[in-house]
């Protein structure tokens, strides 16, 4: 099947692909090209570089191959397409506190329960889910969510352990990159699946020329920026895209502000 068809299929059956989100950069963008890593080794993710230990302390890797962000000490915010259903679930392991997934310092905590957005796969959209952890991740900062559209603009940060390029392997070390906001109108005009963009529920980001993006295995992870107080705020959740880092094919993210009230209410009941 064509790559685009393959990708749409992935979007529909998120759990199957949940393992690999990668920050991919296939070609250097004209603007804001990331610098090479300080160790002099070319990062395996083109367009991204390695995050420093502690730089994004709320980043979570989930065992089904998705990303997430620590929302409260005992709740991870991820994508609905990374989980199968709402209900008791002790099969997920969250890895926290490290950029190196193989670090002996990694904190690993099992899940107890999953809450999948009830509007996911409806016309409302809402690719988000909450995972309750068996115990609090003490000492790990949380990432707040955007509660208004005020931060749905500008330059966003993305991070994840997904593939370094389209079809590439999952990463041991956390990679990061930056991508600019793309308007709903521009995103919707990107052809293919983008014509079905749910403007109220999704927010797009990427360079017109491609080159920097999230990718398979980054799903569920946060797209974030600083707020007016200089604090990190999650504005998007890695959701889908046609391929990775392709020109004219932005990354699509759950618009967190749209679902902030529902997310907070669900978390309060977990």
Label the pairing between strands 251-255 and 155-160.
unpaired
At residue 95, the 3 state secondary structure works out as: strand
Rounded to 5°, angle at Cα 178 from 172 and 183: 130
In this structure, the dihedral spanned by the alpha carbons of residues 172, 249, 121 and 156, taken in order and rounded to 10 degrees, is 60
Between CA 71 and CA 76, with CA 72 as vertex, the angle to 5 degrees is 50
Q: Compare residues 74 and 218 and give the one whose CB is closer to ligand 4AZ.
A: 218
Q: Of the two residues 130 and 158, which places its CB atom closer to ligand 4AZ in the complex? A: 158
CB of 199 to ligand 4AZ, least distance (A): 18
Sorted by sequence, the CB contacts under 8 Å of residue 218 that are 6+ apart come out as 20, 21, 22, 23, 67, 158, 159, 160, 161, 162, 163, 238
> Smallest Cα–Cα separation from 136: which of 104, 159, 105, 112?
112
Q: Which is nearer to ligand 4AZ, 178 or 219 (CB)?
A: 219
Considering the complex, state which of residue 21 and residue 45 has its C-beta at the smaller distance from ligand 4AZ.
Answer: 21
Binding site residues, ligand 4AZ, CB under 6 A = 10, 17, 21, 213-216, 218-219, 238, 240-241, 244, 251
Q: Which is nearer to ligand 4AZ, 59 or 137 (CB)?
A: 59
CB 15 within 8 A of CB 161: no
- Rounded to the nearest whole angstrom, what is the least distance from the CB of residue 9 to ligand 4AZ in the complex? 10
User: What amino acid positions are annotated as catalytic residues?
Assistant: 81, 127, 219
Task: Return the structure tokens found at 33.
Answer: 């090209």
In this structure, the chain runs to a length of 270
């Amino acid at each position: 099947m064509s790559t685009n068809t393959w990708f749409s299929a992935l979007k529909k059956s998120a759990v199957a692909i949940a393992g690999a989100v990668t920050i991919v950069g296939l070609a250097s963008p004209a603007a804001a090209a990331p610098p090479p890593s300080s160790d002099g080794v070319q990062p395996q993710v083109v367009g991204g570089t390695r995050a420093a230990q502690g730089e994004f302390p709320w980043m979570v890797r989930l065992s089904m191959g998705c990303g997430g962000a620590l929302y409260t000490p005992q709740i991870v915010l991820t994508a609905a397409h990374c989980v199968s259903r709402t209900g008791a679930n002790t099969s997920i392991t969250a890895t926290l506190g490290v950029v190196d997934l193989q670090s002996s310092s990694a904190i690993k905590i099992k899940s107890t329960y999953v809450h999948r957005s009830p509007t996911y796969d409806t016309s409302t959209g809402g690719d988000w889910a909450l995972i309750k952890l068996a115990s609090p991740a003490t000492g790990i900062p949380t990432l707040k969510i955007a509660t208004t559209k005020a931060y749905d603009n500008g330059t966003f940060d993305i991070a994840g352990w997904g593939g370094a390029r389209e079809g590439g392997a999952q990463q041991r070390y956390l990679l990061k990159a930056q991508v600019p906001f793309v308007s709903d109108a521009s995103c919707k005009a990107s052809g293919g699946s983008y014509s079905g963009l749910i403007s109220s529920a999704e927010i797009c980001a990427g360079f017109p020329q491609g080159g920097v993006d999230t990718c398979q295995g980054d799903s569920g992870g946060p797209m974030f920026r600083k707020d007016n107080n200089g604090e990190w705020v999650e504005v998007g959740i890695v959701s889908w895209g046609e391929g990775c880092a392709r020109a004219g094919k932005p990354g699509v993210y759950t618009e967190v502000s749209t679902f902030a009230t529902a997310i907070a209410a669900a978390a309060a009941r977990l």
